[in-house]
Amino acid sequence: MNKNWVPHVTVATIIEKDNKFLMVEEDLHGKKLLNQPAGHLDEGETLVQAAVRETLEESAWHVTIDHLIEFSQWTSPNSNTHFLRACFAGTAIKHNPDQKLDEGIIRALWMSRDEVAQNMHRLRSPLVLHHIDHYIAGKKFDLDFFSYYDKK
């Protein structure tokens, strides 16, 4: 057992509007990949706060988080990095078209489930389509699924 092993805690959001899903196109080592707005949990924030922040930073969309879709565990075959990913569903509230997006993000775009599936080879991970499908199937958990004991 590797005593230095630490999983990466990440969040992602499924935001649906007019039967399309908010996605981001990103440049990762010269490859143009597709993902939901997603990123790492920062020190001092809750998973829900991280999901709201990452969605704004990567897509320029203000959102509210409505529920948890799934908490997933996955190891990237490319980097051997282990991820614990909380995927949330939310509602788009307001777009800031002039906001600069996070480094590496090319653009935010809206795609149907079929368009996402047609781009399987460009998805950042298999969790992208997996979580969209779980959202469509109605899989959801109340946000009180999480308990936070840190004092604010």
Residue 139 is part of which domain span?
8-145
The pTM score is 0.92
> In one letter, which amino acid is 118?
Q
pLDDT digits (tens, 9 = 90+) for 40-52: 999 999 999 999 9
- Under 8 Å CB-to-CB from 6, ≥6 apart: which residues? none
Q: Report the CATH number that the domain containing residue 63 is assigned in CATH.
A: 3.90.79.10
Residue 43 belongs to a domain: yes
> What pLDDT is stored for residue 77 in this prediction?
83
Structure tokens at 84: 């614990």
Residue 136 belongs to a domain: yes
Residue 151 belongs to a domain: no
Residue 94 pairs in a beta bridge with: 62
pLDDT digits (tens, 9 = 90+) for 80-129: 888 899 999 999 999 999 999 999 999 999 999 999 999 999 999 999 99
Is residue 152 predicted with pLDDT exceeding 80?
no
Residue 63 belongs to a domain: yes
> What pLDDT is stored for residue 5 in this prediction?
83
pLDDT digits (tens, 9 = 90+) for 104-116: 999 999 999 999 9
> What pLDDT is stored for residue 35 in this prediction?
98
Residue 152 belongs to a domain: no
Is residue 150 predicted with pLDDT exceeding 90?
no
Sign of the torsion angle spanned by Cα atoms 103, 80, 86, 31: positive
- Number of compact structural domains in the chain: 1
> What pLDDT is stored for residue 81 in this prediction?
84
Residue 3 belongs to a domain: no
Would you give the distance in Å from CA 62 to the centre of its chain?
14
> What pLDDT is stored for residue 18 in this prediction?
97
Under the banding of pLDDT at 50, 70 and 90, the label for residue 70 is very high
Residue 34 belongs to a domain: yes
Under the banding of pLDDT at 50, 70 and 90, the label for residue 151 is low
> What pLDDT is stored for residue 95 in this prediction?
98
